[in-house]
Structure 1
Amino acid sequence: MEEAGWTRLGADLCRVRPTTPGSATSVYTYSSERFGSGTRTHASILAVSHTSGHLTSTCVSQATMSVLCYNKGCGQRFDPENNPDDGCTYHPGVPVFHDALKGWSCCKRRTTDFSDFLSIVGCTKGPHDKEKPPEPVKPDVTSSVEKKEADDQKPKFNEYIISAPMPQKAIRRPSADEPIVRMQHKVSASLKQALEKLHLSEDAEEKKEEDSDEIKIGTCCKNGGCTKSFEGPASDSEVCAYHSGFPIFHEGMKYWTCCKRKTSDFNTFLSQEGCTKGTHLWRKKDTGKKVVPCRFDWHQTGSQVIISIYAKNAIPELCYVDANSTTLNIRIIFEGEKEFEQKISLWGVIDVSKSMVNMMAAKIEVAMKKSEPMSWARLDLPPPVPPTTESEKKEEEADSEDEDE
């Protein structure tokens, strides 16, 4: 149904402006679809002749519709036939987004708000452009499988071919009978100052007093772990219960290497009954010094094993550490008349030529260079266990039966 004031002309609806007969009349045409939906959009202008109030001519000319300008920052529509050189205000540059600031490369204005960025007025004038810029070319990938294969063929990083190191050959354990070499030692300045104050270095070469053949009443047994003292000739016939090994102090635990009963209390450690039976030792051979137990500990790094002996004011002239690849002999004279001796069969193999004894005022460190970079399970190598004889087996069985009863 046609709206009042409108006339259908072909496929369009036209409204005629009244004029004098014979003159041209402007007719505004609208498509039937747009009119049917209730909207009227200006599409074209027709020049027709009017005779006796009737439309007698067809369209003689049609104006071109407006097009969109593709200049950056413009976005307006324009008539290509009416496109002056200064009709468009746009940005000839490209968008710049850096450190949360947004702007155009052609002008200096910057903003942090994206809406403000879109509303920045162009900085250059020129004609409108109806040519749409070409879209970026996308790679031609026929399928996802081919794309994945192409990506797999591309190197993702720089490849370097490095040959693995040759595995080290296990070092054969040398014999314990190898020649003994004395380790070189270094005396710290703190020990030198302490010895000067105590005048111990001057007394180090004094002649030793001859030991008396007579054993005095009350002399303590020199075997480790034995607490008995000499009370007369009858003491020589007593059985001595002592520790044949040496004391170890490691990570707060204290124990003897011969029986491995560990404790953290020092008094409990001293009261541990010996695990070996023998005779009392009332006098150490070839010494007039007082043989005393000395606390020592050990730790290791990747290349060294370090033994720390806590003996104060050791006399460098009388101290030494002799060693070969698997055995260590330690003799320390400290605080004038005190002596500490220890022989250790090492768990691993060392390089004596690259080992060192560092003597300090409060302790002595024996830094041993490992022959191979491996972790030691312990400091000393336990002695081989002799095979049990038939008589010993019978005694053990008898003891176990007595305990059951």
Structure 2
Amino acid sequence: MTTCTRKGCGKTFDASNNDAADCSFHPGAPVFHEGLKSWSCCSTTNRAVTSFDDFLNLPGCATGTHSSEAPVAPPKPIVPPTPAPTTTNAEGKEVYGAAAAAPLPPPPVRASTPLADAAKPASTAYVEEQDDPEVVVEKGTVCKRKACGVRYDGEDRSEEECRYHAGAPIFHEGSKGYSCCKRRVLDFDEFLAIQGCRTGKHLYVGAKKEDQEELIECRVDHYQTPRQVIVSVFGKGADKEVSGVKFETEAMHVDLLLPGRKRFTKTFALYGPITPEESKYTILGTKTEITLAKADARSWPSITALDPSLAKNFVAQLAFSAGGGRGTTGAKEAVYDDQNKQRS
């Protein structure tokens, strides 16, 4: 049996019995714009979706015979040049050009005490869903984990190994990858072929419906300083023993178990890189406060620019504030470096 390589199909077929209408596929190219995902060949019939899993499940709009030929890669997109960096000086004014590229002076180092180190909240292990070893799996069931795609063959499941991605897909300025690993590609087919960076057991079934918590949305708010982004997730009474936040360089995983079998769990593909070991969180009575340590001095217009459904929870521009309150967005007066002074 051979696996069909047409976009949107992925079924196995017998080359000696390959009828003309067996394959349902997308002849066009994937379209990703402002968090929406669709196919160029059926954008008017298949509505654009925000979830990457929903995008992969969009039904094919054309039929034909299955194919085992390698897909032809489209021309590489032209990535526009990155704008000149901006930052703020000691007086809180924006600086452009070469002065902005210079690193900010390091913050003052405070002597740590054993008590302060012990009180610092640590990032918890991100425990993923597992199948019950006794659950019955039908032969041919596809693993639900990202980038795996293995079908259950009816044999002993304890010996199987799943290679998958635990992070979220990241599409930024033409590059494509996952938040859990560093590899980035431009072609969509190459993205689908990125091998999983983690190993574990396959997830064929998932939790039973009656055992699942009610997944809810929590209000999210935030502000930033030149070195940090402070995020507040408003969920009352989160269980401190089992709730937590996992930090990665380009993502954070928030998992809060709330009263009444309610749960808020979300992976944020971050706007910019962070330093995981310097990031932290604190679970309070009415909210969870997360401090993201920026890896560079860039300004974040949002936590993530990938999912438009988050826009209603996020302020369009983050306010710089040294004292924790909201300040003004941007500066009242532009400050130029020596090179730009000559031009002005």
Taking structure 1 as the reference length, the TM-score comes to: 0.25
Relative contact order (C-alpha < 8 Å, sep 6+): which is higher? 2
> Quick check: which has more Rg, 1 or 2?
1
Taking structure 2 as the reference length, the TM-score comes to: 0.30
